[in-house]
Amino acid sequence: MPLYRIEAVVLSHRYLGEADKIVTLYSREKGKVRAVARGARRPRNRLLAGTQPYSHTDFLLFSGNGLDSISQCELKESFYSLREDLRRMAAAAYVAELYDLLIEEGENNEGLFFLLLSTLHLLTDGEEIELSLRYFELRFLSLLGYQPQLFRCVHCGSSTKEGPLRFSGQLGGVLCPDCWGQDGRAVSLAQGTVEMLKRFLTTSPRALRVFKAGPSARRELAAALRACLEYRLPRELKSRRFLALVQGDGF
């Protein structure tokens, strides 16, 4: 049976029988992969540590009929606090569910792998979980090819440097006052919030700590990015309720 190696993050796991589990991985080399981890729920099993949710692990897999199986794995980073702290856990579950839901198996995008790793680092070490998620959402949409139009009106193309703006998730960008009627569900967005979104596009994750945002900018960022994501989602996110429960509504 052919063997192959991948470096991956565990997005989720599901129990199978008494001792096995099926893991969904997002890998650097092959994108999303589902695989069986035999015996991984037994104490002291050699696959136990590397197949926990959010673990960053090197895997050796073999492909056969049906699902691939994990032959060996070596844990690189456990992201332990994402499984211990409820707020961080809820945020990580949300990120993992978006990867699971919006990316098909066989779609390979190394940028998405590195975004996942850097987001898990932000959620593990950072104090600013909320802005980390907003940053992640925008970069994730961009890497999937859905980067919202922030630099001019998405409908008429006119400059949006002045005046109040709205954001349409359905049209995928900002609307000038003349075009607000194009989407009755468009949400208000102050100029400063649009500028922050533009800066997210060019800022490295490490530089995110210099960003400051007040309550109204946070609400606007959350509403705009949520509208954009929900337009792309095939169903409601299960993790959203958990996130709202531990972080507060509108998070």
Residue numbers at the binding site for Zn ion (CB under 5 A): 153, 155-156, 176, 178-179
Query: Can you list the positions of beta strands (E) in 63-199?
Result: 68-77, 165-168, 173-175, 187-189
Rounded to whole angstroms, the Cα distance separating 157 from 77 reads 45
Choose between 9 and 153: whose C-beta lies nearer to Zn ion.
Answer: 153
> CA–CA distance from 63 to each of 3, 33, 69, 90, 245 (Å)?
7, 11, 6, 32, 40
For Zn ion, give the closer residue by CB, 156 or 190: 156
**Please, are residues 38 and 13 in contact by the beta-carbon 8 Å criterion?**
no
Which residue, 109 or 149, has its beta carbon nearer to Zn ion?
A: 149
Take residue 34 and report the two structure tokens written for it. Answer: 């589902």
Judged by beta carbon, residue 36 or residue 153, the one nearer Zn ion is 153
Rounded Cα gap, residues 56 and 106, in angstroms? 20
Q: State the nearest-atom distance from the C-beta of 78 to Zn ion, in Å.
A: 48
Which residue's CB is nearer to Zn ion, number 11 or number 179? 179
**Residue among 173, 168, 171 nearest 186 (CA):** 168
3-state class (DSSP) for residue 222: helix
